[in-house]
Structure 1
Amino acid sequence: MTTVSRKKLVVAINPSASFGASRHVGPAVVQTLRAMGHEVTSLTEPDFEQLLASARAALKKHPDALVMVGGDGMVNLGTNLVAGTRVPLAIIPSGTGNDMARALGIPFDNTEAAIASLNAALAVGPRTIDAGRISWTDPVTGEAGERWFACALSAGFDAIVNERANNMEHPKGPSRYIIAMLAELVKLKPLSYRLTIDGTVLDSKAVLVAIGNGVSLGGGMKITPDAKLDDGLLDVLVVQPLSRTAFLRIFPRVFKGTHVTDPRVQITRAKKVRIEAEGIAAYGDGERIALLPIDVEVVPGALRVLSPLP
C-alpha cells in the first residue's frame, strides 16, 4: 500500500444510494480512508440540496480533496463545487455509467481498487484538466444560469434517451441507457439545429448533437473517441439524419469509437459552441441542465482531479 501523509478529505455520498446494491459503498469508503490515517468528513444527506449545502460549508475549511462517491451525477455536483478552485476532485465510482471515472483511468467496477487508486493519487498530487462551462437565459423568467460539466454534454436524441433513462428504475447499470435508446428509437426524427462553432454559424438537420471533454457517455459509449481532457478544446459531435435501420447499424460501433468513420458522423474541435433547437433539453454529465439555446465554452485548467493517469 502506498504510504501517504495524513490528508483532510471531504467525502460526499450519493443520497440516492441509501438503498440498493451500492448502499454499502459510501460507508466502506469512509471507513477505509480513515483506516489509512486520513481525516475524513463524511457527508450523508437525505437529498442533493442538503448535500450541496453541507459540501459548500465543508469546502470552506480548505480540505485536501473532495471525494464524490457515486456516478456521473455526483461527479457533476462535485465539478460545480470545485471548478475554478484549488480543491481537487476525487471519484469513487458507484453509479450507472461512471464515464468520468473511465476517462480518468479510475477503476469503475472495483471499489477497493478505486480507493487504492485514490490513495496513490493523493501521494502524487492532482493533475489539471479542462472543464466545460454552460450558460443560458431562462426563456420564461429571463434569469441567467451557469453550470459546469466535466465529461460530456448531450443535446439531441442522446439527451432524449438520457431523460427516459433517468426516469427508469430498472434495470441498473449501463443497459438502462441502451433500453431507453431502443424505446425512443421508434420516434427517431431529425431536429433542426443552429450551431455556432467558434463564430461559424451552421444551420442543419441532425439526430444527435453532443460535446465531449472526455471520451464517452451512457456507460462507455465512445462518442468522441479522440477527445482529450487537457487540450483546451471540446469535441463537437454532429450525426446527420439517419433512418432507424442506419442508426442501428452504426450504434454498435460507438462502443469502440469506430462510428466516426461514417461520413454522416462529424466531429469538430472548438473552444466555444452555441446550440439552438426547439424543445430540447441539454444534459451535462447525465444531469438535466436547461432547455436550448445554450452557450458552451471550454475553460482550460479549470478542474484539479486526483487520477492515476498523468
Structure 2
Amino acid sequence: MSGYVVIQRNPHSGTHRRSHVLLDLIAGLKRAGLKPRLFSNRSRLDEFVLRHQPAGELVAMVAAGGDGTVDDLLNRHPELPLAILPLGTENLLARYLGFRLDGTWLAKIIALGRVREMDLARANGRLFCTVASAGFDASIVHDVHSRRSGHANRWSYFFSFLRHLFSYRFPGMDVIVHSSRGVEKHSATQLFVCNVPRYAMQLPVGRGGDEADGLLEVELISISHIGALLWVLGWMFLGKTSGARLQATELIITSSRDAAVRFEVDGDPAGDTPMHLTISPRGLKLIDTRSAQSPKSSAALPINRSTAQPGTPAEKLPEIASLSVRAILPDTSL
C-alpha cells in the first residue's frame, strides 16, 4: 500500500505529554511505505486534502485527540476513512471501536487497509457519531467549555457538576419523534440520542443497537429535582433506565417553556434548542480495528526498507531522531 495519511493533532488533548505515541505512529506508517503528514492547523490540512484527494492519493485520516477532534475532522472530511489515536479525556468512540493508545499498532492497522461503516447523525446540520444530549449534562459541557483555557480534565467536569447540583432548574422539552411507527410527541427534561451505547464515565445509554442500522437510539427522562437525577444516574450505571427508550429516524426538540435547553454533541457544546436531528445511514468510513483480532492480519505487513530496517525503534529513525517534542508541534511533512 502507498499514499498519504493525514494526521490532525489537537494541541489541547495531551499530545505534549504523549508525543512519543505520535512518533511511533509516524515511524510505523513510514515503515509500511505510507507517507504521514502531521497538522495542527486545520486550514492547512484541508488544503492538503483538497490538493491530493482528487487523485486518490489519500489512504486515511487520523484524529489524534479526543471525541471533539474526531467530530471536527469528520465534519470536514466525512468521505475519508477515519482512524483514531485516542488522546482525549473520554475517547468514547475510540474505546467502543477498539482503537488503542499505541502508535505502532495503529500504523499496522491502517496499513492493512480494511474499512468498516457506521451511521452518522446530524444535529442542526452538524455531524456526530457517538452521543448527543440535552439537559443537565449538556449544561455542564457548556459551562466547562466556557471556562476552559486549555485541556479540560475530569476535575473540570466534577466541579461543574457540583455547581449544577445547586443551580440547575430542569427546563422541559417537547420532542417529536419520527419512526417506523409514525410520528409521536413526548416530553422530557433530559434527553440522550446515541449511536454508540456509551457516554462519559462509561455510562450506558440507549439499548445498545447496531451502529449501522440506520436508527437513532433515544432515551427520554423526566425529572424535576436533583434527588431524582441522582437516582436516575444510579439506575443507569446499573444498565437500567427510569425513562422511555425508543428508536427514531428523525427528532425535533423544542423548549416547552421560555427557557432554552442546552445541547451537546460528542462532548462539545452544540447550542440551545430548538434542535433537529437526522440519521445518515452508513455515512462514516472507519479503519477497521477488527482485523487486529485475526492472527493472519499482522503476519505480512508491507515494509519500506529504504526508510527503516525491520525492528528499528521509532526513536532511531533518521527522519524522526532529529524531532524533539517541541519540533513535532508545528505542521510538518514527515
TM-score for both structures, normalised by structure 2? 0.74
**Contact preservation (8 Å) 1:197, 1:272:** yes
**Contact preservation (8 Å) 1:25, 1:94:** no
Structure 1 Cα separation of the partners of residues 45 and 262 of structure 2: 25
Structure 1 Cα separation of the partners of residues 219 and 51 of structure 2: 38
Letter in 1 for 2:187: S
1:239 paired residue number: 221
Structure 1 Cα separation of the partners of residues 84 and 15 of structure 2: 20
Q: From 5, 10, 14, give the equivalent of 1:9.
A: 5
1:226 paired residue number: 208
**1:70-100 deviation line (CA, Å, top 9, x unaligned):** 00011101221232x2x21111110011011
1:160-309 map, 5 Å: 160-166=139-145, 167-168=147-148, 173-198=153-178, 200-206=183-189, 208-256=190-238, 258-260=239-241, 264-277=242-255, 278-309=259-290
Please say which structure displays the higher CA radius of gyration: 2
Structure 2 Cα separation of the partners of residues 253 and 55 of structure 1: 45
2:71 paired residue number: 76
1:127 paired residue number: 116
Structure 2 Cα separation of the partners of residues 52 and 178 of structure 1: 35
Structure 2 Cα separation of the partners of residues 169 and 220 of structure 1: 25
1:30 paired residue number: 26
**Contact preservation (8 Å) 2:14, 2:88:** no
**Contact preservation (8 Å) 1:82, 1:88:** no
- Alignment of 1:90 with 2:76, yes or no, is no
**Contact preservation (8 Å) 1:195, 1:202:** yes
1:151 paired residue number: 130
**Contact preservation (8 Å) 1:100, 1:151:** yes
**Contact preservation (8 Å) 1:216, 1:225:** no
- Alignment of 1:101 with 2:101, yes or no, is no
Letter in 1 for 2:88: G
**Contact preservation (8 Å) 2:7, 2:36:** yes
Secondary structure of the residue that 1:80 maps to in structure 2?
Answer: helix
Secondary structure of the residue that 1:37 maps to in structure 2?
Answer: coil
Question: Aligned-pair distance for 1:165?
Answer: 2.9
**Contact preservation (8 Å) 1:69, 1:92:** yes
Structure 2 Cα separation of the partners of residues 236 and 253 of structure 1: 17
Structure 2 Cα separation of the partners of residues 59 and 161 of structure 1: 39
Change (3 A) 1:28 1:233: same
Change (3 A) 1:231 1:64: same
Letter in 2 for 1:235: E
**1:172-224 deviation line (CA, Å, top 9, x unaligned):** 54454344323312223322211110063425242x11210111222422222
Change (3 A) 1:26 1:19: closer
**Contact preservation (8 Å) 1:127, 1:304:** yes
**Contact preservation (8 Å) 1:154, 1:210:** yes
Change (3 A) 1:205 1:130: closer
Question: Aligned-pair distance for 1:106?
Answer: 1.7
Identical columns (%):
21
Structure 1 Cα separation of the partners of residues 155 and 59 of structure 2: 35
Change (3 A) 1:72 1:219: farther
**Contact preservation (8 Å) 2:120, 2:283:** yes
Query: Structure 2, unaligned stretches of length 5 or more?
Result: 292-334
**Contact preservation (8 Å) 1:43, 1:54:** no
Change (3 A) 1:290 1:171: closer
Secondary structure of the residue that 2:167 maps to in structure 1?
Answer: coil
Structure 1 Cα separation of the partners of residues 67 and 165 of structure 2: 24
Letter in 1 for 2:263: A
